[in-house]
């Protein structure tokens, strides 16, 4: 019932009851029913039991700021504290509180967005190239000065991104090895050539899958970790602090990570190759009646070491790209939590994309070279 808060008798309007946030909706609708307040009306605030900032704001909006600021003159029966509150809030409402609403969702905005995205993509690639240059320019002179190598940090990163990833890489490649063997067996059986399953598994793992699976795993596991670590440091101004002390964040933070990846990924790729082969061998011996000895001899006879080298040669490239993208995205983080999330996502997507792109280009190259 409306007269719980407001009663109107002729030219008198009196406020009463609890003008608090809990009743905000009801109070607002009571006031909107009143419409414009003419300055001739007499206002009484005596009946107010409770008043808080939200209630005061509503009253002031209704009676006008000027009148509210003079509350001590015309409402001296109101407790001093509430007068002070009304005056204080009226002062705060003197600055215009309405802000221009932001216009969105027009077609031009959509077009502008597309343009923005494209130019962002372009500048992202340029930044990546520039960052690679920066890292190399810092790395190469440092190679000649071993006393400035950061062994502890590098070893710690090798443990985190390399050693700790061994189980998951081994398990994953083992299972993919088994799947490839099954697929091969199913297709080749029609030609009575199940024995070539061995070649299929060996070929695919030595040249492609061992290193590719390891790289994709590290792109998901380590690139994201690098971005989140550096991003948190960035938003905590730690990187600025390093720079202000004349220390080089590239040398201190990026190089240990890049070097750790350059060490870890080839080793993990090797683990991946072995355990992929093992997966193939297990399937071969259990369901294709190809014994382990037969598997090994075929492997020795048919597979030249070139395949292994071709596969492994890609590992350092992948490692470098993943580490550099992870670190660069970390540096791009701005203060907010959201930005950490956005750049972590971007770093994983970019590094997986780059790994697969480079792998495809490399496959073409090696094919043309006949290696």
Partner 1 sequence: MTHSNKSSEQHSQPVISVRGLVNRFGANVVHENLDLTLNQGEILGVVGGSGTGKSVLLRSIVGLKRPNDGTIEVLGTRLNDLSEEQRSQVERRFGVLFQRGALFSSLNLQENIALPLIEHAKLGREEAEYLARLKLSLVGLSPNTALQFPESLSGGMVKRAALARALALDPDILFLDEPTAGLDPIGAAAFDELLVTLRDALGFSVFLVTHDLDTLYAACDRVAVLSQKRVLVTDTLARVASYDDEWIQDYFQGPRGRAAQHAHQN
Residues forming contacts to partner 1 in the complex (CB under 8 A) are 20-22, 24-25, 28, 48-54, 57, 79-82, 84-85, 88-89, 92-93, 95-99, 102, 235, 334-338
Q: Which of 318, 259, 313, 319 is nearest to 139 (CA)?
A: 259
CA–CA gap between residue 170 and residue 179 (Å, rounded): 14
How near is the Cβ of 142 to partner 1 at its closest, in Å?
A: 33
Q: What angle do CA 174, 175, 177 make, to 5 degrees?
A: 65
SS3 content of the chain, % helix, strand, coil (to 5): 80, 5, 15
- In the complex, the smallest distance separating the C-beta of residue 229 from partner 1, rounded to whole angstroms, is 18
* DSSP bridge pairs for 44: 14
Give the helix/strand (H/E) hosting 338: helix 337-369
Contacts of 239 (CB under 8 A, 6+ apart): 230, 233, 249, 253, 331
- Identity of the residue, 85 or 172, whose beta carbon is nearer to partner 1 in the bound complex: 85
Provide, rounded to whole angstroms, the least separation between the CB of residue 341 and partner 1: 9
Please, which residue, 297 or 334, has the CB nearer to partner 1? 334
Which has the closest alpha carbon to 7: 39, 40, 50, 42?
42
Work out how close the CB of 99 gets to partner 1 at its nearest, in angstroms, rounded to a whole number.
6
Q: Is 97 exposed, middle or buried (0-12, 13-18, 19+ CB in 10 A)?
A: exposed
Between residues 76 and 300, which has the closer beta carbon with respect to partner 1?
76
Considering beta carbons, is residue 36 or 49 the nearer one to partner 1? 49
Q: For residues 56 and 362, which CB has a smaller minimum distance to partner 1 in the complex?
A: 56
In 10-148, where do the E strands start and end? 12-19, 42-51
- The CB-of-152 to partner 1 minimum distance in angstroms stands at 24
Q: How far apart are CA 344 and CA 336, in angstroms?
A: 13
Q: Which is nearer to partner 1, 16 or 313 (CB)?
A: 16
The span from the CA of 144 to the CA of 13, in Å, is 87
The least distance separating partner 1 from the CB of residue 234, rounded to whole angstroms, comes to: 11
Q: For the range 108-112, what are the long-range contacts, defined as Cβ-Cβ under 8 Å and sequence gap of 24 or more?
A: none
**Nearer Cβ to partner 1, position 99 or 144?**
99
At its nearest, how many Å lie between partner 1 and the CB of residue 98? Answer: 8
For residue 39 the two structure tokens come to: 């300055």
Q: Which residue has the tokens 């190239």?
A: 129
- The span from the CA of 276 to the CA of 179, in Å, is 10
Minimum CB–partner distance for residue 36 and partner 1 (Å): 19
- Nearer CB in complex with partner 1: 35/96: 96
CB of 22 to partner 1, least distance (A): 7
Query: With respect to partner 1, which residue has the nearer C-beta, 24 or 149?
Result: 24
Q: How far apart are CA 174 and CA 295, in angstroms?
A: 16
**Least distance between partner 1 and beta carbon 94 (Å):** 8
- CB nearer to partner 1: pick between 3 and 22: 22
Beta carbons of 253 and 327 less than 8 angstroms apart: yes
Residues with Cβ within 8 Å of 122's Cβ and at least 6 positions away in sequence, in order, are none
């Amino acid at each position: 019932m409306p007269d719980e808060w407001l009663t109107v008798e002729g030219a008198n309007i009196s406020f009463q009851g609890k003008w608090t946030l809990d009743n905000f909706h009801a109070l607002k609708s009571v006031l909107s029913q009143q419409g414009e307040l003419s300055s001739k009306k007499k206002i009484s605030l005596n009946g107010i039991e409770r008043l808080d900032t939200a209630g005061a704001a509503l009253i002031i909006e209704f009676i006008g700021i000027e009148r509210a600021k003079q509350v001590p003159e015309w409402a001296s029966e109101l407790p001093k504290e509430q007068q002070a509150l009304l005056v204080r809030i009226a002062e705060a409402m003197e600055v215009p509180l309405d802000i221009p609403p932001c216009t969105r969702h027009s077609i031009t905005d959509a077009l502008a967005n597309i343009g923005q995205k494209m130019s962002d993509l372009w500048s992202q690639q340029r930044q990546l190239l520039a960052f690679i240059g920066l890292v190399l320019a810092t790395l190469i002179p440092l190679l000649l000065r071993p006393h400035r190598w950061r062994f502890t940090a590098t070893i710690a990163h090798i443990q985190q991104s390399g050693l700790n990833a061994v189980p998951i890489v081994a398990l994953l490649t083992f299972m993919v090895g088994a799947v490839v063997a099954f697929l091969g067996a199913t297709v080749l059986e029609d030609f009575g050539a199940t024995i070539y399953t061995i070649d299929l598994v060996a070929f695919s793992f030595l040249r492609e899958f061992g290193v590719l699976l390891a790289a994709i795993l590290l792109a998901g596991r380590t690139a994201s970790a690098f971005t989140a670590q550096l991003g948190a440091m960035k938003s905590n101004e730690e990187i600025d602090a390093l720079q202000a002390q004349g220390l080089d964040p590239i040398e201190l933070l990026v190089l240990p990570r890049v070097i750790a990846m350059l060490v870890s990924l080839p080793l993990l790729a090797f683990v991946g190759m072995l355990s992929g082969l093992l997966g193939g061998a297990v399937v071969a011996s259990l369901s294709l009646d190809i014994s382990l000895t037969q598997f090994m001899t075929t492997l020795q006879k048919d597979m030249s070491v070139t395949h292994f080298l071709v596969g492994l040669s890609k590992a350092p490239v992948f490692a470098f790209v993943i580490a550099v993208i992870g670190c660069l995205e970390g540096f791009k983080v701005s203060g907010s939590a959201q930005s950490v999330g956005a750049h972590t996502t971007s770093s994983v997507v970019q590094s997986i994309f780059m790994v697969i792109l480079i792998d495809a280009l490399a496959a073409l190259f090696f094919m043309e070279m006949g290696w």
